[in-house]
A and B are shown apart, each in its own frame.
Chain A
């Protein structure tokens, strides 16, 4: 199976397990089903993610990818099947979702116990990692979209979570900010080694960031593709083109 991990083409990698990876699983989903008032959104989803792996979940809107993420985070209940996920996780939303009446440092340490001075120091360290330490005491309303999302990332890494669940975190950002944020996420992943499940509808973004790309369609994981190109990846790298073309056509958007 190891040979398939080097395959950049459309040859499907095993769905349940990402090749012959020896690392323990951080996320293990089996036969997951979810229905909203009679409408089935997820149909028998199987998913296994190893510790430290960066997995991108792509699909058209309404395919169930966000629902899957919300189930893993505990935001959706009433499912059938089994879901095992490391309880130490953070969630990054598409909107930065900062509490407007709390200052930046209070947002980063939201829910943390501990003394005020201690929380502030920890927030400062996290904020430095995302390159925004000057805004420690500002209110969220003064931040730009990219800055707010940086704060959200600082909040997400604060407690060194084992798993990061990211729901289109760059979907609302402009193209230039998005490129900076992708680099930031790669740096954080390298430094902290968390497992990442990254939902996006941007195929190019998935190829740039992920070790493995899962395509979701109609409530199922339709295919899996390993991306073994070393990082940092250039978006103009010609080796990425066949994968890009294959993914797009699978999503119903032929690339002329």
Chain B
């Protein structure tokens, strides 16, 4: 049953790939505009042979993780502080919400002036993009803790530290992980935008070079790379969720 449904669901994408390949082969689609699936595979092979494929992926991943680490950690820490302390909420939340209404990608010109066209501006843009989802979801998750459990903590005479360790942080974990997933998404998107502007290395650099030489096959290969890394990151966080949420009712179906 499951195999049959998988085949049924794969039918359309496979048909599209075949039709695409056939259309390019028959000359219906110009190779200059639209490379074929075989062309994309060929581009991968050539990039690999030139020894620049994995190096570029590694450079892009490095930028994304550094930015995600800095911005995500800041978002998590701020979210926890604002979630736990009314004073921090009063002082910070309104400001953060105001800044959030500004699409962070609109800050690219400023970032180029502030940080230059090197690595710093890219990492800064990724960090800024990663900050908000983790901040918002952590804050919301902490405030969303069942007040009945806070009451329980009170009659069980838990210390403030025990309350945070036993109730608040584990209870907020599902929300925090959702935030991490969103942060991964915006981090990756920010990276792609940053790399399009100016890059001397990385997947974005490959794309820019390919554009200059009108190599649509290489551009499409790079798109595939972006997509693959995005999917892998999502799978990673989902498996993290699964192992962290063993207690959750949805984990035992």
| Chain A residues engaging chain B, CB cutoff 8 angstroms | 73-75, 90-91, 93, 95, 97, 99-102, 110-111, 139-142, 155
The closest CB in chain B to the CB of A87 belongs to: B157
Cβ–Cβ contact A139 & B154, under 8 A: no
B166 interface residue per 8 A CB criterion: yes
Contacts A99-B167, A111-B162, A155-B156 known; 20 new A-B pairs at CB < 8 A: A75-B151, A75-B154, A90-B155, A91-B155, A95-B148, A97-B151, A99-B149, A99-B152, A101-B171, A101-B247, A102-B166, A102-B170, A110-B156, A110-B158, A110-B166, A111-B158, A111-B159, A139-B247, A141-B249, A141-B252
Chain B residues whose CB sits within 8 angstroms of the CB of A73 once the complex forms: 155
Chain A residues whose CB sits within 8 angstroms of the CB of B157 once the complex forms: 111
**For chains A and B in complex, what number of residue pairs have CB atoms within 8 angstroms?**
51
Chain B residues whose CB sits within 8 angstroms of the CB of A139 once the complex forms: 246-247
Cβ–Cβ contact B252 & A97, under 8 A: no
C-beta contact mask, B238-251 vs A, less than 8 Å → 1, else 0? 00000000111100
Cβ–Cβ contact B252 & A99, under 8 A: no
B151 CB, min distance to chain A CBs, angstroms: 6
Chain B residues whose CB sits within 8 angstroms of the CB of A101 once the complex forms: 170-171, 173, 247-248
B153 interface residue per 8 A CB criterion: yes
For the complex of A and B, 5 pairs with smallest distance between CB atoms: A91-B155, A111-B156, A101-B247, A101-B170, A111-B158
Known interface pairs A111-B153, A139-B247, A141-B252. Does A97 touch B158 (Cβ–Cβ under 8 Å)?
no
Chain B residues whose CB sits within 8 angstroms of the CB of A111 once the complex forms: 153, 156-159, 162, 166
Cβ–Cβ contact A97 & B246, under 8 A: no
The closest CB in chain A to the CB of B246 belongs to: A139
Cβ–Cβ contact A100 & B155, under 8 A: no
Q: Kindly identify which residue among A74, A97, A140 contacts B152, using a CB–CB cutoff of 8 Å.
A: A97
Cβ–Cβ contact B151 & A100, under 8 A: no
Known interface pairs A101-B247, A110-B166. Does A75 touch B252 (Cβ–Cβ under 8 Å)?
no
Cβ–Cβ contact A99 & B166, under 8 A: yes
Chain A residues whose CB sits within 8 angstroms of the CB of B156 once the complex forms: 110-111, 155
A-B contact pairs, 8 of them (CB 8 A): A74-B154, A97-B152, A100-B249, A101-B171, A102-B166, A110-B152, A141-B252, A155-B156
C-beta contact mask, B191-224 vs A, less than 8 Å → 1, else 0? 0000000000000000000000000000000000
The closest CB in chain A to the CB of B245 belongs to: A101
Cβ–Cβ contact A93 & B152, under 8 A: yes
The closest CB in chain A to the CB of B250 belongs to: A141
A81 CB, min distance to chain B CBs, angstroms: 21
A172 CB, min distance to chain B CBs, angstroms: 13
Chain A residues whose CB sits within 8 angstroms of the CB of B148 once the complex forms: 93, 95, 97
Cβ–Cβ contact A100 & B154, under 8 A: no
Report how far A142 CA is from B153 CA in the complex, Å: 22
A95 CB, min distance to chain B CBs, angstroms: 7
Report how far A148 CA is from B152 CA in the complex, Å: 15
The closest CB in chain B to the CB of A102 belongs to: B166
Report how far A75 CA is from B148 CA in the complex, Å: 11
B155 CB, min distance to chain A CBs, angstroms: 4
Report how far A74 CA is from B158 CA in the complex, Å: 13
Chain A residues whose CB sits within 8 angstroms of the CB of B252 once the complex forms: 141-142
Q: Kindly identify which residue among A74, A99, A102, A141 contacts B155, using a CB–CB cutoff of 8 Å.
A: A74
A68 CB, min distance to chain B CBs, angstroms: 15
B154 CB, min distance to chain A CBs, angstroms: 6
Report how far A90 CA is from B157 CA in the complex, Å: 10
Report how far A75 CA is from B157 CA in the complex, Å: 11
The closest CB in chain B to the CB of A89 belongs to: B155
Cβ–Cβ contact B151 & A141, under 8 A: no
Within 8 A of A (CB), among B139-179: 148-149, 151-159, 162, 166-167, 170-171, 173
Report how far A13 CA is from B218 CA in the complex, Å: 92
Chain A residues whose CB sits within 8 angstroms of the CB of B246 once the complex forms: 139
The closest CB in chain B to the CB of A109 belongs to: B156
